[in-house]
Chain A
Amino acid sequence: MSFLFEPSVYNEAFASDGTIRPHWKPFWEKLQENREKLAFCSEQSERLMHSGFSDSAEKRACGVVPFILSRQDFETISKGLIQRAQVFNAMLCDLYGDQTLISQGVLPPAAVFGNPMYFPALRGLTPANGVFVQEYTADLERSPDGKFWVVADSLQIPQCVGRAVKNRRVSTRVLPETYAAATPAPVSDFLETFRRHLFANAPSNKIPTVVLLTASTNRPLSFEESYFARNLGIVAVEPADLTVRGDKVFLKNIDGLKQVDVILRHVADDLCDPLELKGASMTGVAGLVHAVRAGTVAILNPLGTGLAESPVFKAFIHGICRHFTNSDLLLPSIAAWWGGQTAEVDYLIEHQRSLRFFDAFTGTEAAPSTADLQRHPERYVGQERVAASEMPIVRGGEIENARVRLRIPVVYDNGAYRVMAGGLAFTEAKDGKGLCDVWVNAPVSAARPSASEKNVVPSRTAFELTSRIADNMYWLGRNLERSEQLARLLRVALTRATQGSDFPDPNDVATLLCVLALEGHLPFADFQDSAERENALKTLKKIMCSESYGFGLRFLFKRLKEMADQLHDRLSMDTWELFTALAPLLPEESANYPIVLNRLDSIIVRQNALSGLIHEDMTRDHGWRFLEIGRRLERGLQILNLLSGIQSCKIAGFDASLESLLETSDSRMTYRVRYMSVPSVPLVVDLLVCDKSNPRSLIFQVKELRRAIVALERESRTPSLFAKENTILRDMAKVLEDIDITTVDLPALTADLRDRLQAFSDTLTLSCFVHNTSTRQGPAYNKGKLK
């Protein structure tokens, strides 16, 4: 073994004499047999984990080598973490209750009353099931003597379970041979425990509505959040999706309000209720504390749990533990000193270089100067550092050592705490950070021969759609269609202007410019004049490339990307990636026409791929229906614009190039096959408006719209919610079917149809998206206008 390790650091895999530790042996031997595959394994692991999550820690692929924990070490950690969860729970119950920790001198009052994480408004409130710490994760490091130390606790928004289960799936697939040899304890059942626990918290007996409350920062969901949303059968919502009516919390669904029973909370305490938890905050759900007080909703972890995360308590954890349990901590907690204690200020200043500093209350890492420590010592906690242990990792096919920290989740289940026999291991080597699975050697009896984990039990909970998501889906559809139509118009116009066409038409470019002008992209001008045309073409490039141009392609692609990010958990990875890939394809404004056209081709190919994915890949749920409604509505409006184009050309004194209009609406081939003649206005109107078999005709869009509305209506809990929309569409279909193309008054018809589509869009907004308006803080005023 030519493996190098520092003797001053504990190595997880190797004893100090260089021999492999027994609990690593089965894995390590298999790994050696597969050594030539390691580079491939790393790559495969990257591929399996590949995702667009924003958080850099979440982007890390699962390492090939897992952290292997001996049964004995796991038992020690497990007992220690259960005790720690109990101590934190007792502490929170006390601080939001009788406060004996303060009155009996265990904690100085400043640690709590001067702590912005403490909310008097929550004092006396009973948390869900009387338990504050319902889920919890602890970070551990192993010192050179082999002891584990708790270095960090996450109580308010612990995130680990989802990623740990996902990592396990990757680690079992990358090197199945090693997994079979080592037979680690399973982790997926922990997710099931978590799910059971979540649903068991509902205040009433009926099947509960459970939501995952995430912060509204217009960001994609974190890995954990989107994993939960997909695998636990719960809806991911933002504060704006919830509303308090009376003393209950409701979800603003597309078909009205639905009572929420359990909230899995991923929002910090101070951002949960602007009425009771923070003076000037506007985010949150107004009245949430009121609902909790009334006992109609369970929040996990309960409001107030954030207090226990203040580093200041680390300095008192031993005393707190003795106060509640009459015994010492089973698992040592890393030493910490709080500057609020006179005797400890000197220690902090003396050891300033070797300690890690944190804001004593909020927990943000800090780097105070000596002067800061002298002036405001109570604001800081200094914490010792552990010389963390190392474990082998694979990098580029080679094995090297990296420092490691473990994160292990704990969940309250049916009266007791359960510790996951697994978790996450965060590695840190000289040239980068990594993440890997944690395997706990299972007792022989529990060993599983199968190389693959059983999948999580699929959720059967009803699909919910919030107004916000529906609104986003709708606009995603509209903007996608708008961008497609614009790209096609630009391509046809630019091709014909710069390269001519197989079917040249003296008015083709002028006609297309007219349509673009109708859509507001260009000022109207005499497009038959070649100088004006030249001018307009320059603008077209701008529409495509410029950042500053309001409704051009760059703008639309940017919006699409933002919306796709927000809908991350509802779109497949491939779909999301295609949305992301659009903007980078746009050329610089200085690019020449051939390059511009080349890029337009690539863009249109990807847009078509997107349409295909949306059509073939997406589940036909309500979300898809709103996307479809947005697309069909927009396509309908675009068709009407083409018809108006015919009229505008006539007003401008020339005949519209029907050929080029058919090309932009992708109907040229259809027309040729059908009529084998030069296009005429009545036949073009028939093809674009009345032809039911043309997927680019208006009547086709109206029928599809109606299909989506009927499906929504059928599954909605509110009767007749979509009745108006349905009527509008039915009447419109009737008008379209009755058109006589030989006598029709085109301008009047176009205007009438446009009004109907607009009425449909307005009605839909009223029925479904009206809940989705933002709230704001009401005015407050100064007291006392007299002396």
Chain B
Amino acid sequence: MTRYHVRHTTVYGYSQPVTLSHHLARLKPRNTPFQTVENSTVSMTPAPAYQTDSTDAFGNTATFMLVETPHTEMTVTSDFTATVAMPDYPDAKNTPAWESVAGALALPSAPETLDAAVFAHPSCFVPFSQKAKDYAAPSFTPNRPVLAAAEEIMRRIYADFKYDSSATSIATPIDETLEMKRGVCQDFAHVGIACLRAWGIAARYVSGYIRTRRAAEAEKRGEIEMIGGDASHAWFSVFVPTYGWVDLDPTNNMYMQTEHLTVGWGRDFDDMSPVKGLMTGGGSHTVKVDVSVRTA
């Protein structure tokens, strides 16, 4: 069990004043069987004229904010403390065959299967991709346990794709990522999801943070906290009947560990975009993101 304090700051700069803006933030982390959250706050400067939380379709907390003060710089800060435990993962070899899982998701009579079924279909950022289906084909051999197939896809993405933050943008389509074999955690998560869904398996996009080794070592050596040394992170999760959801991180080639902090999940990035906004005015803009994850 590890206890963390997380601070995630996003600073938006605008060349022209923004006179009115509406925002929807998905920054407050949710409780999970392996994560307990305390003291979660989202604050904003200039102070919003209105701020309220609601629960979205997938159970995440969404914070709606409205800024009426004209501004050229806006800061959104999320603060929280979370205690993370190591999940006890099922033995991949003993999970049900992928064909039977796909079958259950096609006729989701049990409530938990019905809840999972919405993640087995194409979504805005993860449309059906024949390329992903072909890429995933070798992992879906007959009667292969579903988690074994998903784990292999995670490992193959890690091996085949190069981390390159300059290669993609949020608008890069899956097929292009598959072509270039480059991208960031978000792209790898989307590719993993596309691979699983193409074969009828439910997969969701998980948004969160990761405690980096580098930052952990710096803290151990007594060095001061490294701003920006940690980052917001994303991975995917696969539905395994009777067990539930298993989170796999293709960027780091690992099952979710106690270094992973979950904010929430959805069908893809669009459902979990940390801060969405619509503004009047603004001109050109800059964005600066700082994330610090410290053990508490």
Q: Interface of A with B (CB < 8 Å)?
A: 99, 102-105, 108-110, 113-114, 116, 120-124, 243-247, 274-276, 278-280, 282, 286-287, 290, 293, 376, 773-787
Contact = CB atoms under 8 A, between A and B. Distances in A.
B259 to A, nearest CB: 12
A184 to B, nearest CB: 48
A123 B170 CA distance: 26
Query: Which 8 residue pairs are nearest across A and B when measured between Cβ atoms?
Result: A778-B277, A784-B185, A114-B121, A120-B57, A286-B22, A286-B278, A113-B121, A279-B270
Nearest to A116: B124
B282 interface: yes
Contact of A245 (B50, B117, B278): B50
Nearest to A781: B287
B212 interface: yes
B89 to A, nearest CB: 23
Contacts of A110: 106, 121
Contacts, number: 147
Interface stretch (B36-44, B79-87, B216-224, B229-237): B229-237
B254 interface: no
A102 B233 CA distance: 33
Contacts of B50: 245-247
B257 to A, nearest CB: 15
Contacts of B56: 121
Interface of B: 12, 19-24, 49-50, 52, 54, 56-58, 64, 66, 68, 105-111, 114, 117-118, 120-122, 124-125, 128, 163, 165, 168-171, 184-186, 207, 210, 212, 230-234, 251-252, 267, 269-271, 273-282, 285, 287, 289
B233 A783 contact: yes
Contact of A783 (B64, B124, B186): B186
Contacts of B111: 103
A602 B26 CA distance: 62
Given A246-B50, A773-B281, A779 B12 contact: yes
Contacts of A276: 24
Contacts of A786: 210, 212, 230-231
Contact of B278 (A105, A120, A122, A274): A274
27 contacts: A105-B109, A108-B106, A108-B107, A109-B108, A109-B118, A109-B121, A113-B117, A120-B267, A245-B50, A246-B49, A278-B124, A279-B124, A279-B273, A287-B22, A376-B128, A773-B19, A773-B281, A777-B277, A778-B21, A778-B278, A778-B279, A780-B273, A782-B168, A784-B184, A785-B184, A785-B231, A787-B163
Given A245-B66, A275-B24, A293-B54, A776 B184 contact: no
A774 B16 CA distance: 14
Contacts of B233: 783-784
Contact of A782 (B108, B117, B165): B165
A54 B107 CA distance: 46
Contacts of A245: 49-50, 66, 68
Given A108-B106, A777-B278, A784-B184, A275 B22 contact: yes
Given A102-B108, A782-B170, 15 more contacts: A102-B114, A109-B117, A109-B118, A122-B57, A244-B22, A247-B50, A275-B23, A275-B276, A278-B124, A776-B279, A777-B277, A778-B12, A779-B285, A780-B170, A783-B269
Contact of A773 (B23, B280, B289): B280
Given A109-B121, A275-B276, A244 B66 contact: yes
Contacts of B270: 279
A559 B2 CA distance: 66
B109 A104 contact: yes
Given A779-B12, A785-B231, A102 B276 contact: no
Contacts of A122: 57
Contacts of A773: 19, 280-281
A230 to B, nearest CB: 31
Given A779-B287, A782-B184, A787 B252 contact: yes
Contacts of A121: 56-57
Given A287-B22, A777-B278, A782 B57 contact: no
Nearest to B56: A121
Contact of A103 (B108, B185, B230, B274): B108
Given A104-B109, A776-B278, A781 B170 contact: yes
Contacts of B68: 245
Contacts of B110: 103
B12 A103 contact: no
B120 A287 contact: no
A287 B231 contact: no
A247 B51 CA distance: 10
Contacts of A280: 171
Nearest to A125: B57
B109 A785 contact: no
Given A245-B49, A778-B276, A783-B231, A109 B185 contact: no
Contacts of A787: 163, 251-252
A248 to B, nearest CB: 10
Given A120-B118, A286-B22, A778-B21, A103 B109 contact: yes
A783 B282 contact: no
Contacts of A778: 12, 21, 23, 275-279, 282, 285
A124 B57 contact: yes
A275 B278 contact: yes
Nearest to A120: B57
B273 A290 contact: no
